[in-house]
Structure 1
Amino acid sequence: MTSTATKSSYPDRPRKALCRNPFLSIKFFVFCHGLLQLSQLLVSGYLKSSISTIERRYGLSSQTSGLLASFNEVGNTLLIVFISYFGSRVHRPRFIGCGAILVSLAGFLMSLPHFITGPYEYDQSIASMFSNTTDLCQPEGLESQGNLSDTVCAPHTARENHEVLLVMFIAQALLGIGGVPIQPFGISYIDDFASEQNSPLYLGILFSVTVIGPGVAFMLGSAMLRFYVDIDKITEDEVQLTNKDPRWVGAWWLGFLVAASLVAVSAVPYFFFPREMPKEVTSGKESGSKKSEDLLSQLRSKSEQVQNLSLAKFIKHFPVVLLRNLRHPVFLLVVLAQVNLSAMVAGLATFMGKFLERQFSLTASFANMIIGAVNIPGAMVGIVVGGAILKRFQVSLKQCSAMCVLGMLLCLLVAFPLLFLGCPTQKVAGVTYGESSDFGLPTLECSFHCNCPEKAYNPICGSDGIEYISPCHAGCEVVNIDKQFSPELHQLQLHLQKRAGGLRQARDLRHRLLPPPPALRGALLRGRDPRQHIPHPVLHAHPQEHPARRQIVCRWDTVHAAENFSVDARTRSVRQCHRHHLHPLGEEV
């Protein structure tokens, strides 16, 4: 066993002096680069964890938010090939540091809309709508009173957020541009100056951070979205909502500040790393060391030849290198596989949280916690098991490819049942559903003489799973409120008009605290803010059979979209009927 060391840029400097300087250690570079990659992934991944909250805050459509989430790839895709090609002619650590500064700036810009817009204004007029008959059924002759839903929605229909979108798109473009030199230059720098034995280990650490990073971003989103969006502008006592309320908007901007600050701190050491550092010293067999020295000397001579080329010749040589790679079938197949894998992961990561929120009535914070809690252990197990298999069986390149194919097939089989999970499309009376309900009447017949405006929006949900866009469309005429229980639990008394039988008065009915589905029951008992466990009242219309008559008892749902939503955005944001909570009330109440 002999110790060997390749020639470096510091031939006359004592080895002890080199060891005392951390910026001449490849191990310290690996540590710094792992921290930087994790911080960068926090910035890019945090947007995906808070995408539904940003939609709710600024009334964005899923199409717009999806474009925003993918816009950082535009700058990255346009520049990464050229920047990577010029890597041999530049100071790679400093380029990495400059890219990190751009990423940090992008993170701070992403939080800027919170500071340039006014406070979040949610709909606080629930009680007034209860006591104001203008939002209920009005027989003919009373239509001159107007409708509250129109007055609420009209001012906000034309409200747009061009400034917010412009700032966010610029930030995403900077994020993509800043991320270009970080991974390619970091990997090449480690590969050049790490020993042959340790280089795979160092690169494996970086790839592990890349896999775990998005999960950490979702956990950060889960923590930040528990705080109210205007936590810096109002006190906690002034917040009248819990994070289970559909009007709740979490502090989406706070996570960007945290992640951007981490990137800024991680960028500092790169300006102190040299352009070249001494090759890492390792122990190995003499024959192996000799081969390594020969290979490294060949690579070094080629690198020197490239650096000696003029800039014009260097640029002219670029198409030749690009075409040579594009004609390589194995390279093209690897790129195609990575493109498809990235497309699948990007779409899943961006909208999985929103899917969980809408389909299973979860809070944004809890949905992010689920994704992060599943992603991180899964990534760690995959990395450890994969590395153990490779080391134990010394698999070849073809066997590694076969393992990748087997893993993808396993993912496909596990993901296939997702096509059949979730709730059916919500039935909205007069919008997506026009058949007869379980009450035996056409779904809109109860509001035939109510003069309900087309733009009324104040959704209620029936026990038959049919959603009505307002109490007026459900035929509710009068409501009396008894707030003796809590601000969110009301005892209601409503008159309902039915085409066949005039006015009938409903019984007094308190909100029944219906239990959550078993799958969520354990999750709802997790230790958090006690205010999160306040039950949600949902407006239901329950049929009650009596020998002489049939009546419908309406209960109000406190689902109200934020005031600054447009009509279309508010419609998209409706929390679906809690079909797993509904059941006919057959007993006397």
Structure 2
Amino acid sequence: MFSGIRSFIGVFGVLSLLSWSLWTLTVSQVSIIEKAFGLSSSETGWLFTIWEIGYVICTVFASYFGPRVHQTRAIGFFNIVCGLSAFLFALPHFVAFKDGVEYINGHNRSTGLKTDDFNADKLCAPHQNTSALDKDMSDGFGQKKVSAQSNKVLAFALFNVAMILQGVGKAPCYPYSAQYVDDNVDQAKTGFYIGIITSIAIFGLMLGYGTGSLISNVHVTLKETPLSSKDPRYIGAWWLGFIILGVATLAISVPMFFFPRRLGHDKTDQMQKVAASASSHREVGTLKAELKYVAVTLLSIGKSIVYVFTLIAACFNVLSVSIFLGFEPKYMETQFSVPSSTASIFVGVMSIAALSIGTLLGGVVTRRGNTTPFRLILTIIGLWVTVTMLLAVAMVLGCGSQTVFNPLNNDTLAAALPCSCNHTEFLPICSEGVSYFSPCHAGCTNTSAGAFSACTLIPSGSAVGGLCGNSCGMLWPYSVVKFVLNLVDAIASIPIFLVFLRSAGEERKALALGVSAAVISLGAWLPGPVIGGKLIDSSCLFWNTASTSARFCAHYDIADQRYKLYGTMIGMRLVGVLISLVSLVSARKLKSWGHQSAQEDKNMEELVVQHNLRAEI
């Protein structure tokens, strides 16, 4: 059962699907986790950065020890690490909040409460002065403030450890699997089998977003709740998906330990593989010689103007992607007032379709077109310019910011408000298209069946929970433009990799690809999520801090957020295009790249798809 290449492809394909689904599941739950634990977007952005740190560090060591280890057992071990990281990511639900009920603002989230009772503490409380109310809150929730902050610190620490382990567990699996396949099949078939693995892994993107969509509609306690999913206080069962995928990953990892170092081959073929491997080890030489060779090779690669400036330009373009990548579902939730489940489905479909079709079209473009250095870089610049223009279109496809009525901003209304309200807890209600800061700030004194009545500052006297709907009709136009944008980006990835592969020379192409991956990771993937988080936080209007010293953003200036995010991404793209012009000028002097076989192009294309799994999710 564990002696054939098809068995290996099947098992590893499923593991690839599960490992990538863990990443996209995390992306889909960003807004819920921020709300649950009082995290800012800068902090959740750091979680994606720490994933990249684990990924990069482990990739270096895995590449060095790759030829020396039992590769299938190593794959099994690292996937077990990945599965355990999923359990660790879910652990804050069970450790930081042992009762499973106090997730936010210190209020009890137990089930069994009637809606009226649940909303009662949000009503206008007349005949109280502010100092008395503040004292009551301090006496009642002072201990919970300390508890909430310690819970946040513990949860954030666990999230960090889980994400770095997830990166460590993911890093060696693809290079080990590719080498294992290449060592056990005819080289002409390597691209075919890697393509199968890649195709299966692509669906992991959709599995992660789909799982996130489903669990977002389940309450965090797995029980009935008086809150609707549209209520700002509602928290979905974010942790459940990690348990499910963690169990599945651990279960599928076990069969990897039963595959041999070498699958069944005839004796002659096996002897040739061993002889080739031994020869390569003999040629490595001493550590000093290896370092000298690497230094000389790097110096030679650095002399290629086309390679160096294309790499720098690619860094700026990937930085543009990484700024937005981890926050795309949250962006759609915020901009278009859609629930987390809907945003996850939209992003998942856009990603998998654009990645699949775009990579295929990129291969067609480079195989049928003229791939001389000048033409190839000109193609890249044309595609990047197209992406930049599409980003400009996407920037204007959004809804207007919602105005939230707060009587404290008007001295006359503030004096007329017969209530002492908690000014740090944003709990919006809606009446006739107007949103109010909270039931208390609208002067509401009664609640029934989730609605509020006897509201002295509302003309109709009644309201319902939540912000007023912001149905500006831009969701579908934005989604179409974003799909085309992702598609063009995926097409561009093929010629970019061809430049990296060919511009450094035949003997140096392996190191050139490694250097490009390391530089892009350090220069783009590492800082991008934190930059994106900072930009999102800077557009926050209301931070919920009631009854807890932890903060999360409860309401954004969505127009400001949109222009900051997309403006930054457009700026990065323009810098990349300008830098790539240096490569274009230099490429005019080159007649050709040198020899490159069709089979090498085929295998390279499969490598590109694996790389794009990180850039299109």
TM range (shorter): 0.5 to 0.7
SS of residue in 2 equivalent to 1:28:
helix
User: How far does the alpha carbon of each residue in 1:345-368 deviate from its partner, in whole angstroms, 9 at most, with x for none?
Assistant: 333231111111122211111111
Question: Does the CA contact (< 8 Å) of 2:230 and 2:339 recur in 1?
Answer: yes
2:461 is equivalent to residue 494 of structure 1 = no
Corresponding residue number in structure 2 for 1:189? 180
In 1: Cα distance, 2:62 partner to 2:54 partner: 12
- Which structure 2 residues correspond to residues 432-447 of structure 1 after superposition, within 5 A? 443-447=410-414
Q: Which of 374, 380, 386 is the equivalent residue of 2:350?
A: 374
Q: TM-score, normalised by structure 1?
A: 0.67
Range that drifts further, 325-334 or 77-86: 325-334
Root mean square deviation, CA, Å:
4.5
Question: Does the CA contact (< 8 Å) of 1:150 and 1:455 recur in 2?
Answer: no
SS of residue in 1 equivalent to 2:326:
helix
In 2: Cα distance, 1:146 partner to 1:396 partner: 71
C-alpha spacing 1:562/1:251, structure 2 compared with 1 (3 Å): farther
C-alpha spacing 1:343/1:269, structure 2 compared with 1 (3 Å): farther
Q: Which of 407, 416, 425 is the equivalent residue of 1:457?
A: 425
In 1: Cα distance, 2:18 partner to 2:121 partner: 51
SS of residue in 1 equivalent to 2:327:
helix
The structure showing larger relative contact order (alpha-carbon pairs under 8 Å, at least 6 residues apart) is 2
In 2: Cα distance, 1:394 partner to 1:424 partner: 44
Amino acid at match of 1:184: P
Select the structure that is richer in helix: 2
Q: Which of 228, 233, 237 is the equivalent residue of 1:247?
A: 233
2:251 is equivalent to residue 275 of structure 1 = no
- Give the Å deviation of 1:37: 1.5
Question: Does the CA contact (< 8 Å) of 1:224 and 1:251 recur in 2?
Answer: yes
User: How far does the alpha carbon of each residue in 1:254-306 deviate from its partner, in whole angstroms, 9 at most, with x for none?
Assistant: 1112222232233223222332346799xxxxxxxxxxx9xx97x97664244
C-alpha spacing 1:566/1:253, structure 2 compared with 1 (3 Å): same
- Give the Å deviation of 1:91: 2.1
Range that drifts further, 192-201 or 327-336: 327-336
2:234 is equivalent to residue 229 of structure 1 = no
C-alpha spacing 1:260/1:417, structure 2 compared with 1 (3 Å): same
In 2: Cα distance, 1:458 partner to 1:152 partner: 19
- Give the Å deviation of 1:222: 0.8
Corresponding residue number in structure 1 for 2:101? 120
C-alpha spacing 1:167/1:134, structure 2 compared with 1 (3 Å): closer
2:273 is equivalent to residue 304 of structure 1 = no
2:328 is equivalent to residue 352 of structure 1 = yes
Q: Which of 290, 296, 303 is the equivalent residue of 1:317?
A: 290
In 2: Cα distance, 1:519 partner to 1:367 partner: 15
C-alpha spacing 1:316/1:99, structure 2 compared with 1 (3 Å): farther
In 2: Cα distance, 1:198 partner to 1:300 partner: 20
C-alpha spacing 1:333/1:66, structure 2 compared with 1 (3 Å): same
Q: Which of 22, 28, 36 is the equivalent residue of 2:7?
A: 28
Q: Which of 445, 461, 464 is the equivalent residue of 1:479?
A: 445
Question: Does the CA contact (< 8 Å) of 2:76 and 2:256 recur in 1?
Answer: yes
2:569 is equivalent to residue 569 of structure 1 = no
Tell me how many residue pairs correspond in the alignment: 474
Larger gyration radius, structure 1 or structure 2: 1
- Give the Å deviation of 1:99: 1.2
User: How far does the alpha carbon of each residue in 1:425-479 deviate from its partner, in whole angstroms, 9 at most, with x for none?
Assistant: 5556789x96xxxxxxxx33211365857845354568899866456656x3x63
Where does the alignment leave 5 or more consecutive residues of structure 2 unmatched?
478-541, 560-617
- Give the Å deviation of 1:246: 1.8
SS of residue in 1 equivalent to 2:259:
coil
Question: Does the CA contact (< 8 Å) of 2:337 and 2:471 recur in 1?
Answer: no
In 1: Cα distance, 2:131 partner to 2:547 partner: 26
Corresponding residue number in structure 2 for 1:172? 163
- Give the Å deviation of 1:343: 3.4
C-alpha spacing 1:268/1:143, structure 2 compared with 1 (3 Å): closer
C-alpha spacing 1:459/1:239, structure 2 compared with 1 (3 Å): closer
Amino acid at match of 1:307: H
Amino acid at match of 2:88: L
Where does the alignment leave 5 or more consecutive residues of structure 1 unmatched?
1-20, 282-292, 435-442, 497-504, 524-559, 579-589
- Which structure 2 residues correspond to residues 417-432 of structure 1 after superposition, within 5 A? 417-425=393-401, 427=403
- Give the Å deviation of 1:157: 3.9
SS of residue in 1 equivalent to 2:551:
helix
In 2: Cα distance, 1:70 partner to 1:131 partner: 42
In 2: Cα distance, 1:577 partner to 1:344 partner: 19
Question: Does the CA contact (< 8 Å) of 1:135 and 1:148 recur in 2?
Answer: no
SS of residue in 1 equivalent to 2:188:
coil
Q: TM-score, normalised by structure 2?
A: 0.64
2:204 is equivalent to residue 213 of structure 1 = yes
SS of residue in 2 equivalent to 1:257:
helix
Range that drifts further, 177-186 or 465-474: 465-474
C-alpha spacing 1:128/1:426, structure 2 compared with 1 (3 Å): same
User: How far does the alpha carbon of each residue in 1:68-106 deviate from its partner, in whole angstroms, 9 at most, with x for none?
Assistant: 122111122123123213322222222222111111111
Question: Does the CA contact (< 8 Å) of 1:447 and 1:472 recur in 2?
Answer: no
In 2: Cα distance, 1:326 partner to 1:185 partner: 28
SS of residue in 2 equivalent to 1:259:
helix
Question: Does the CA contact (< 8 Å) of 1:194 and 1:280 recur in 2?
Answer: no
- Give the Å deviation of 1:252: 1.1
C-alpha spacing 1:212/1:577, structure 2 compared with 1 (3 Å): closer
SS of residue in 1 equivalent to 2:24:
helix
C-alpha spacing 1:318/1:100, structure 2 compared with 1 (3 Å): farther
Question: Does the CA contact (< 8 Å) of 2:123 and 2:446 recur in 1?
Answer: no
Corresponding residue number in structure 2 for 1:554? none
Question: Does the CA contact (< 8 Å) of 1:50 and 1:221 recur in 2?
Answer: yes
In 2: Cα distance, 1:239 partner to 1:273 partner: 48
SS of residue in 1 equivalent to 2:445:
strand
- Which structure 2 residues correspond to residues 322-401 of structure 1 after superposition, within 5 A? 324-325=297-298, 327-328=300-301, 329=304, 332=308, 336=312, 339-389=315-365, 393=368, 396=371, 398=373
Amino acid at match of 1:347: I
Amino acid at match of 1:176: G
- Give the Å deviation of 1:489: 2.9
Corresponding residue number in structure 1 for 2:28? 49
User: How far does the alpha carbon of each residue in 1:99-155 deviate from its partner, in whole angstroms, 9 at most, with x for none?
Assistant: 11111111111111122223134657984697779845769x796566877777755
User: How far does the alpha carbon of each residue in 1:514-554 deviate from its partner, in whole angstroms, 9 at most, with x for none?
Assistant: 8873739999xxxxxxxxxxxxxxxxxxxxxxxxxxxxxxx
Question: Does the CA contact (< 8 Å) of 1:220 and 1:255 recur in 2?
Answer: yes
In 2: Cα distance, 1:315 partner to 1:223 partner: 55
In 1: Cα distance, 2:465 partner to 2:239 partner: 37
